[in-house]
Structure 1
């Protein structure tokens, strides 16, 4: 695979076509406190956007993969802001339904500090407060498959990305995920590569039975999960034990606490790749960026190690960006890093100022950003 053009820019005419990858799930308005401390002491919040599946769609678009997002939002300001924000990342939002009766979901982030207040979480700690019960996205159901806009996007795609978050939102959402994922699949997803990220959110499963998850996980073509969440849900985070537990996916991709990601193929062959050393600016969204990089590499036919490296590089760029969308390095940089020796990969450092690596002696690290994965 060395020397493969993994970083060709997207053909402008091709970029106007249907999405190659479609991501389905809820996104929400996010309220971020202006200062640390318990919520009762915070005077103001900054509005942002959040959602695993739309994050993956946006990161795929940044990687040069035409992407679309299917969801539901309320007929409210947060819904309009959310849809516009995702579209601004280059994502097709034509299949997002506006619900006239249900609201857009919201969550608030509480950040601990050293205020001395009785309910302060403490420095370095945070908590998310979700207000999504009865949201527009919770009304997703198999009826989606009869909606022309969603059917159009799915018909033109090669990949559908789902997560365990959607399965936890409501009975209708669970049935939709099951319908799209579990074989025999409907005509809408027959022939598609379907990826599933566990994305374990314990709070969402209160009153619901997570025993439905293993069947969904085994039905995926690509299964993504963290060792810690797998331990919580399944009792093991070992990649080989998980591979044995889920024999159907083509690849089981496991991220561990030491930042090593191991992909185990159906034949038991395992490839592990450590994350790059990163000077972190903002940790939010790195997992979604990794998923996008790995999936982009899968669509482009990269070998296992290069898929993992593209995932790590995408995550590293997300970690060094203060906003929702990371700036990707030029295609020459990506190609050099994907082909780097193990030693040169391990010696690479990523910060907000750029990328320093033995394989980049004369290349700019973060100038003239361009998509890093070519069109078909």
Structure 2
């Protein structure tokens, strides 16, 4: 298996109109969750991916499980929790492309994931274990699960990919800094956004941020710069890759997870650092073209057309 990842997936309710939710009466249902987003994005790019979590024994849990399975992601290690419910979130749209997000996840099935749910044999089959900073934020037991998974990966020479995915609605910056930087010390790949890197380590310059993580023993740092593109650096090379122009952004949620998938896809395909950046920028940009976390993620041929590596045949 190319990549294994785990974390909470939730049912997303997207309002059919803009404005305060108290004036919204209809919603569209979809699904979202950083790790699951990445798993689906990678599967669409042709990789073998496994995602696991805990979901409630309810209709929302079944919706998530069936949807992720339909995308070609292995869900054989997902646990159905008969005692807990599946988390949900609501988006709220005003005049920007970044929605307000309201979580209803405290005490959810996924928040009860623990070290006992981590299957060593499953993780050691993968080339890459991908984790995010969201999972350790949702509960103490989930944080323990993350550190156990990291330990297993290191013991079995599985590459560790880490997106800090800082969520200050879930914990304080002080606690986040402590836990996330500890995880980063064990990672081979770190993929922060520029703003969250500033909050975590107090540095503003991409090169300084990359050098900080490289000094911890990280092999590759990929910094997301939004519409400006990305900056990637390893021990031998650094590259800035300009972003792709998007005329009308519909939804930015899921773009960062798509970016991560592009980087990992490039690494798995043994592409150059610049090519990894191009894939990452392409998937991230295409995610913003459509409302929803996963709806805009491309298949490989679509991505090649978008980034100009293949001619598009109209008819």
TM-score w.r.t. the length of structure 2 is: 0.90
**Structure 1 residue 188 displacement after superposition:** 7.9
Q: 1:225 aligned to 157, 168, 192, which one?
A: 192
Q: 1:141 aligns with which of 114, 121, 143?
A: 114
> Structure 1: which 4+ aligned runs deviate by more than 6 Å?
none
- Are 2:245 and 1:277 aligned? yes
Report SS of the residue matched to 1:219. Answer: coil
- Map residues 133-282 of structure 1 onto 2, 5 A cutoff: 133-145=106-118, 150-181=119-150, 185-186=151-152, 190-206=156-172, 209-210=175-176, 211-246=178-213, 247=215, 248-257=217-226, 259-267=228-236, 269-279=237-247, 280-282=249-251
Root-mean-square deviation over aligned CA pairs: 2.3
CA distance in 2, matches of 1:230, 1:239: 9
Q: State the shift of 1:105 in Å.
A: 0.8
1:245-287 CA-to-partner distances (Å, cap 9, x unmatched) read: 22211101111255231111134x3111111122334333221
Residues 328 and 366 of structure 1 are in contact (CA less than 8 Å); yes or no, is this contact kept in structure 2? no
Structure of greater Rg: 1
The 1-side partners of 2:51 and 2:30 are apart by 18
Q: CA deviation at 1:39?
A: 2.0
What whole-Å deviation, never above 9, does each CA across 1:203-239 have from its counterpart, x for those lacking one?
0114981222211112111000011111122212422
Q: Which residue of 2 aligns with 1:53?
A: 35
How many angstroms does 1:330 deviate by?
A: 2.4
Any unmatched runs of 5+ in structure 2?
A: none
Counterpart residue number, 1:128: 101
- CA drift of 1:186 comes to 2.8
SS of 1:29's equivalent?
Answer: strand
- CA gap 1:356/1:63 in 2 versus in 1, 3 angstroms: closer
> How many residue pairs were aligned?
308
SS in 2 for 1:276: coil
C-alpha contact (below 8 Å) 1:26/1:72 kept by paired residues: yes
Structure 1 residue 180 displacement after superposition: 2.3
SS at structure 2 position matched to 1:36: coil
Work out which of the residue numbers 53, 69, 91 in structure 1 matches 2:73: 91
Which residue of 293, 316, 327 corresponds with 2:298?
327
1:305, distance to aligned residue in structure 2 (A): 0.8
Aligned to 2:259: 290
SS at 1:161 equivalent: strand
Map Cα deviations across residues 311-339 of structure 1 (whole Å, 9 max, x no partner).
122223323345533333528x83xxxxx
| Structure 1: unaligned runs, 5 residues or longer | 1-18, 113-122, 335-353, 368-376
Distance (whole Å) between structure 2 residues aligned to residue 74 and residue 51 of structure 1: 15
Q: Does 1:68 align with 2:71?
A: no
- Decide whether aligned partners of structure 1 residues 294 and 109 sit closer, same or farther in structure 2, where only a CA change above 3 A counts: same
Could you state the TM-score of these two structures normalised by the residue count of structure 1?
0.76
Whether the 8 Å CA contact 2:229–2:244 is kept in 1: the answer is no
User: Aligned in 2, Cα 1:187/1:239: closer, same or farther, shift over 3 Å?
Assistant: closer
Secondary structure at the aligned position of 1:209 is classed as: helix
| 90 and 291 in structure 1: CA distance in 2 versus 1, 3 angstrom threshold | same
Higher helix share: 2
Q: Give, in angstroms, the shift of residue 72 of structure 1.
A: 0.7
**1:80 is the counterpart of 2:48:** no
Within 2, Cα distance between the matches of 1:295 and 1:289? 10
In 2, the alpha carbon distance for the partners of 1:188 and 1:99 equals 29
8 Å Cα contact 1:228-1:257 kept in structure 2: no
